[in-house]
A and B are shown apart, each in its own frame.
Chain A
Amino acid sequence: MADREIQAVRKELTQEEKDALVRELLNSIHAHHYGPDTAHIEVHGNKVVGTHLVPGLEVTSQELDDGVEVHIRLRSGVQLAQPVHFCFGVIPDHGTQRIISHTVIEKGASAKFMAHCTFPNAVEVTHVMQADIELESGASLDYFERHIHGPEGGVRLEPVTRVHVGEGARFHTEFELIKGNAGTIELDYQAECDADAVVDMMTRIFGRSSDRIHIREAAHLAGERSVGVLTSHIALKDRAEAQIDNEIVADAPWSRGHVDCKEIVQGEAKARAVPIVQVNDHRAHVTHEAAIGSVDSRQLETLMSRGLTEDEATDMIIEGLLS
């Protein structure tokens, strides 16, 4: 059954089949249509099944056996008013999707990318993302990646991203996996910052049942006055386990950095956080904070004194932390 489904996505698709897959992908992320001024790209398995571009944004793609390779370029000075939506997904319960992406945001251009990764029926799905992102001087990119998984937890995620943030450029990324079981996550983001560059990375994950989560975020502040902020907020319950290794290395004068790891553990869950800060110039300054524990009792009792049960109050606190 599973093999047949993988074969099904490897054959050539008719336009009707592509349209049906686009509808199914969008339904799974509760999106139905985009306006004409909004760029969007839908990828199912190894097929680009839908594309709509706007002036200044160039996207080319190539099918691979197990995914797609995509080249994205935003032309110099172009500032996209609407976010560009990417929808990556595998609708069947088994399969592998490898996305290799090369993104260039040219000088002075700015955009917001919203990637929706949806595996609503996953029992044994692997999603590999190998991304390199080049932000030229003065460019800006907000990259928001939201994962929607089913209840089975049968997803293995390997998002690996390398970013070069040019002089005066700004890169903000958020990785969110709150709905459904995370499965196994091996996230590895690394950023290299030139002078006056800003990198801000955040992960927000809710791990359940026997999920295994490993986060590695790293920023190298190589340019003067560059800024790096790495934030990981993880909530774990049942037997889920997480390890966070976040690292900032500041080599340049007047560079600033902060590492923030917060993890809430419940039940038999386990968490480990290793914030690493390294400063190689006395004019740089990097700080870190890490907190792992159960839900704060004062927060809990405040909400319970409004009539919420302990479980309801816990969910509300975690929802806030991960929002």
Chain B
Amino acid sequence: MTILSLEHVHLVREGRHILNDLSMDIWQGHVHAIIGPNGAGKSTIANTIMGLTGYRDITGDIRFEGESITNLSVSERAKRGITLVFQEPARFEGLPVMSFVLAGAREKTRAVFDKSLIMVGLDPDKYRSRAVDRTLSGGERKRIELASVYAMQPRLVIMDEPDSGVDIDSIPYIFEVIQELRQSGTTVMLITHSPEVLRQADHAFLVCAGRLVDKGSMQRMYNYFNGRCVPCSHVGCPDRELEEIPAFTNLEMQAGLEAANVRADKEVRNG
């Protein structure tokens, strides 16, 4: 069953298609990954689904549980159960970790806070009165972000590069939260170009230059991505990939023919 669908979504900035006729269906209760090279539009998809400033002026439609959310604010989308884990979470001077973690929780209790912190491997007693500020390491901040999502128990969570900027010790906890959320019925979208994160997913969408190139099982897309996208031979130009690169082949043939003609002429002149 589809929980979220993007229908022919276009996002144009300064005449350039950031998202180009993008359509995708996200199935409820699954872990999906959106993969692609840097600049492919992966984070743009996340920000557009969440409706952040600068990502709202789209054409096409975004539907959540069958209803259009295209014109809803960030808060209204969140109230329907959508949330986003930012690649680089914001720091909040003076804001206690407990207030932040429970901000979106239905039950704003110490028990929920404790459970959420334990889930991400942090000691609640040590973090309750600390602030979500620059004194936290990147790994701590990311784990607290995930704890706040866990406390919220959303219907759909989008995680933008969940392993970005974190220490190696934090990664197993991030993966545990992903699986825990899935088991509790939350749909997860992972924005990543990390094979390790991709392996947490059931399905994957490959995007390039704002377009959907392919979709399928995690393993098939992993093989595809590693085999054809790393390194990328057509940065920002997925058309060649989508259309079996015929134009590229013709060009090659034409160039080769021209080179052959030059060689033939040269041979004729030389007798």
Contact = CB atoms under 8 A, between A and B. Distances in A.
B partners with A:
yes
A310 B78 CA distance: 12
A298 interface: yes
B152 A302 contact: no
B90 A302 contact: yes
A72 B79 CA distance: 55
A310 B52 CA distance: 12
Contacts of B94: 233, 319-323
Contact of A304 (B74, B89, B148): B74
B262 interface: no
Contact of A308 (B86, B104, B131): B104
B95 A306 contact: no
A176 B53 CA distance: 34
Q: How large is the interface on B (under 10, 10 to 19, 20 to 34, 35 or more residues)?
A: 20 to 34
Interface string A283-323: 00000000000001111011111111110000011011111
For chain A, what secondary structure do more than half of its interface residues adopt (helix, strand, loop), or is it mixed? helix
Interface in B57-73: 73
Interface residues of A, number: 23
Contacts of A304: 73-75, 78
Contacts of B103: 303, 306-308, 316
A305 B78 contact: yes
A302 B99 CA distance: 13
B83 interface: yes
Given A297-B53, A302-B86, A316-B103, A308 B95 contact: no
Nearest to B73: A304
A307 B96 contact: no
Nearest to A310: B75
Interface centre among A296, A299, A306 (most CB of B within 10 A): A306
A308 B73 CA distance: 11
A244 B52 CA distance: 34
Interface string B228-250: 00000000000000000000000
Contacts of A323: 94-96, 131
Contact of A306 (B73, B78, B96): B78
B104 to A, nearest CB: 3
Given A296-B90, A303-B103, A321-B94, A309 B53 contact: no
Interface string B144-173: 000010001000000000000000000000
Contact of A320 (B53, B92, B152): B92
Q: Which of A296, A302, A319, A322 has the most CB of B within 10 A?
A: A302
Given A316-B99, A320-B93, A323-B94, A306 B86 contact: no
22 contacts: A296-B90, A297-B53, A301-B50, A302-B86, A302-B89, A302-B90, A305-B74, A305-B77, A305-B78, A306-B152, A307-B104, A308-B78, A308-B104, A309-B75, A310-B75, A316-B95, A317-B92, A320-B92, A320-B96, A320-B99, A323-B94, A323-B95
Interface of B: 50, 52-53, 73-75, 77-79, 82-84, 86, 89-90, 92-96, 99, 103-104, 131-132, 148, 152
Given A233-B94, A299-B92, A320-B92, 14 more contacts: A233-B93, A296-B90, A297-B53, A301-B52, A302-B90, A304-B74, A305-B77, A305-B83, A309-B75, A310-B73, A320-B93, A320-B95, A320-B131, A320-B132
